Amino acid sequence: MGKKISWEDAERLGVQKNKSESIYAPQNKYGYKININHPNIRPLYDKFKRSIGAIILSDTERLRFEALITGMIERRQLKNERN
């Protein structure tokens, strides 16, 4: 049998793993920048998949989605700077 941990430690570790506070993804080997599991990003991701008729995005499609999201973020930042 493996090493046992307390339920408190298991809960703490599980909560940390499932956090998706940032819209930016942690560094990863695929080069993705946007966290698609963020509550504000997920609906946009699902809508994008439906709009192109995909169940799973290819790398090219994912990068196109991320470019759209990055553009939205930049436009919002510019708008906020003007106000």
- Whether residue 17 is predicted with pLDDT greater than 90 in this model: the reply is no
Please list, in sequence order, all residues whose beta carbon lies within 8 angstroms of the beta carbon of residue 2, skipping any fewer than 6 positions away: none
63 has a pLDDT exceeding 80: yes
Report which of 39, 11, 10 is spatially closest to residue 23, judged by C-alpha positions. 39
Q: What's this model's pTM, rounded to 2 decimal places?
A: 0.72
pLDDT value of position 15:
53
Compute, in degrees rounded to 10, the torsion defined by CA atoms 63, 68, 70, 73. Answer: -160
pLDDT band at 3 (very low <50, low <70, confident <90, very high): confident
Provide the mean pLDDT of the chain.
88
Alpha carbons 33 and 6: distance in angstroms, whole number: 34
Give yes or no for residue 5 having a pLDDT over 60.
Answer: yes
Q: Which amino acid is at 39?
A: P
